[in-house]
């Protein structure tokens, strides 16, 4: 949508000249770029307004049993626009391992709150719903409304019984092929980024119960986004390490599976950080 709005803004400048004769004035050299920028900002604001209004009208107390295509369409076209505006480029490696026609269980390390946004931008066709901390629903009601429409689920990280209920609900969504499910098995944002925090291996039961392949991903450099946004381009690395099919991981205990994925993630993340620092 970023480039669509640029083209529309450029097209409106000569149209404006039909009514106000702006292209043949001695001050056109500064008025034309100003009009172009103004039209572009208006398009961005209109898009933001439609998105904000649509999310504000969501009632989180109503179950999201029916998948809402409108909100997924809205997110599909809003997330890349946000990344473009804040000057984030996603360097995606291994995308060919992800089939857009399959519902998967995505697992990834967690460096910043921008991580879900990056995954949504990278895999729009997989219709991802996230398992997020329950505090979001209390502290960030607007974000919670958007998550609700994407079939995201809150999880109580300090209450094993409640966490188990969320895992079961997520596995049903995955098994019924309603959505793909994404989760950050570290459980918390890893502010130092390295090394990885220990995994909460019980979360992998979602893949077991959901009978879905596990897409193992690693993300790096999202913590740089708030420091650089609008000012300088931030390159975020996102790599799909492997896709583990159910017949491969089901013979393993969740701890064995978690240890394997943890080791692969750490190895890949170490390589990405070396490239970034070198």
pLDDT digits (tens, 9 = 90+) for 147-197: 888 888 888 878 878 888 999 999 999 999 889 999 999 988 888 888 999
Distances (CA, A) of 55 to 35, 58, 67, 72: 30, 5, 15, 11
Spans of all domains in the chain: 2-51, 62-277
| Domain 62-277: homologous superfamily in CATH | Glycerol-3-phosphate (1)-acyltransferase (3.40.1130.10)
Say how far apart CA 161 and CA 154 lie, in whole Å: 13
CB within 8 A of 157, min separation 6: which ones? 133, 134, 163, 187, 188, 200
Q: What is the model's pLDDT at position 240?
A: 97
Q: Is 254 left (phi over 0), alpha (psi -120 to 50) or beta?
A: alpha
Backbone angles phi, psi at 229, to 5 degrees: -55, 140
Give the global pTM.
Answer: 0.90
Which stretches of the chain drop beneath a pLDDT of 50?
A: none
């Amino acid at each position: 949508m970023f480039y669509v709005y640029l083209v529309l803004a450029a097209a409106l400048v000569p149209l404006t000249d039909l009514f106000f004769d702006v292209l043949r004035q001695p001050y056109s050299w500064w008025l034309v770029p100003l009009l172009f920028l103004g039209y572009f900002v208006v398009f961005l604001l209109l898009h933001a307004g439609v998105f904000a209004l649509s999310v504000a009208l969501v009632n989180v107390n109503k179950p999201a049993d029916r998948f809402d295509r409108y909100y997924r369409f809205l997110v599909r076209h809003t997330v890349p626009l946000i990344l473009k505006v804040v000057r984030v480029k996603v360097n995606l490696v291994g995308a060919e391992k992800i089939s857009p026609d399959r519902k998967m269980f995505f697992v990834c390390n967690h460096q910043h709150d921008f991580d879900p946004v990056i995954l949504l931008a990278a895999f729009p066709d997989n219709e991802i719903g996230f398992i997020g901390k329950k505090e979001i629903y209390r502290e960030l009601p607007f974000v919670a409304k958007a998550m609700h429409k994407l079939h995201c689920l809150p999880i109580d990280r300090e209450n094993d019984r409640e966490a188990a209920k969320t895992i079961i609900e997520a596995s049903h969504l995955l098994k019924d092929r309603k959505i793909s499910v994404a989760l950050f098995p570290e459980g918390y944002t890893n502010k130092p980024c390295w090394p990885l925090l220990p995994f909460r291996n019980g979360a992998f039961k979602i893949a077991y119960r959901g009978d879905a392949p596990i897409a193992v991903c690693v993300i790096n450099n999202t913590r740089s986004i708030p420091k650089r946004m609008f000012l300088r381009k931030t390159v975020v690395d996102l790599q799909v390490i492997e896709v583990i099919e159910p017949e491969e991981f089901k013979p393993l205990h969740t701890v064995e599976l978690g240890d394997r994925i943890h080791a692969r993630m750490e190895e890949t993340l170490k390589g990405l950080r070396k490239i970034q620092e070198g």
